[in-house]
Amino acid sequence: MQPVTDSSQPAGTTHEDMLGKAIRLVELLSHMDIPIGPSAVSRLTGIPKSTAFRLLRTLADHGMASYLPDGYIVGPRARRLGHHAAMAVVGNALTPFLVDLYDRTGDVVYLAVLDGYDAVTIRIVRSSAHWDIPPVPDRVAAMRSAAGRLLCAHRDFPTFTGKGPWPIPDSRQLEASFAALRRRGAASWVPDHAKGVIDFAVPVHGIYGPVAAVVRVRRGNMPFDKVSERIHREIARAASAAVRRRTGGNTELIRRRPRGTTVASHESWPWHSTGDEA
């Protein structure tokens, strides 16, 4: 049986061929730091310019690419798929370290990553002994969590203006707070959803900086002691080495750009000061 062809495609080109080319284009866009047009795509891939033009337009229609005046960049749908895959890689690599931290401290332990302006929980270790500690939310505004604040401190955000649901500081206040968190290498937070509970987060470093945070949860009347903090940091360092070995820098999450690059602005940055900045 002859392969099915589409009259809108070049003669001899199958749907499988076009799908393979489309996947190659998405991979190419995901590795580009600047917009790229059909001519450059053709030079880099060997795909005819007319075919590249049609594929880029189709990818843009489906959210896998985005069109800008200077060319195409990877689209939001492709970024989300890459981010979810990267989270799974990181979660699988770090689960043994979460269990180790749980065994050595007896605290609720969870792993969180930064997803836009939210902190997302991707792994958690707890038992029935923690019946008095409320569930850890799946997603929370980044600046409303220890993990989110710590990870945001290692990203460059634009100057925020105007008023949102929380007071927004000027850029100097924001950067001063972030600098304090970077110096400390950890963040603590009393979450809004659980009175009397305190979170303590330590970063897990990928190739270009923190990509996740390992967090412990305790009742507020049981402060984090120096011994358990040392264990927490020691395990986070070992986890960082494991992430770098496991990924080899091939996922979007691990290949996050160093500080100094621009991150898209947000209209209502959820800021709340807690004293970590002091």
pLDDT for 266 equals: 29
CATH number for the domain that contains residue 70:
1.10.10.10
Residue 68 and residue 32 share a domain: yes
Within-domain flag for 198: yes
Check pLDDT > 70 for residue 142. yes
Mean pLDDT of 24-51: 84
Average pLDDT value over all residues in the chain: 75
Residue 220 and residue 95 share a domain: yes
pLDDT for 271 equals: 32
Within-domain flag for 241: yes
Residue 168 and residue 142 share a domain: yes
Within-domain flag for 2: no
Q: What is the span of the domain harbouring residue 84?
A: 78-247
Within-domain flag for 226: yes
Residue 202 and residue 140 share a domain: yes
Residue 224 and residue 94 share a domain: yes
Residue 128 and residue 65 share a domain: no
Of 32, 56, 74, the position where a domain reaches its end is 74
- 220-227's contacts with Cβ under 8 Å and 24+ in sequence apart are 220/190, 220/196, 221/196, 223/198, 224/188, 224/198, 224/200
Residue 108 and residue 149 share a domain: yes
Within-domain flag for 218: yes
Please tell me whether the overall predicted TM-score, pTM, comes out greater than 0.75 for this model.
no
Within-domain flag for 259: no
Of 58, 74, 90, the position where a domain reaches its end is 74
Within-domain flag for 237: yes
For residue range 220-238, list pLDDT tens digits in order: 766 688 999 999 999 999 9
Residue 141 and residue 19 share a domain: no
Residue 212 and residue 174 share a domain: yes
- Domain count across the chain: 2
Within-domain flag for 4: no
Between residues 62 and 112, the one the model is more confident about:
112
CATH number for the domain that contains residue 128:
3.30.450.40
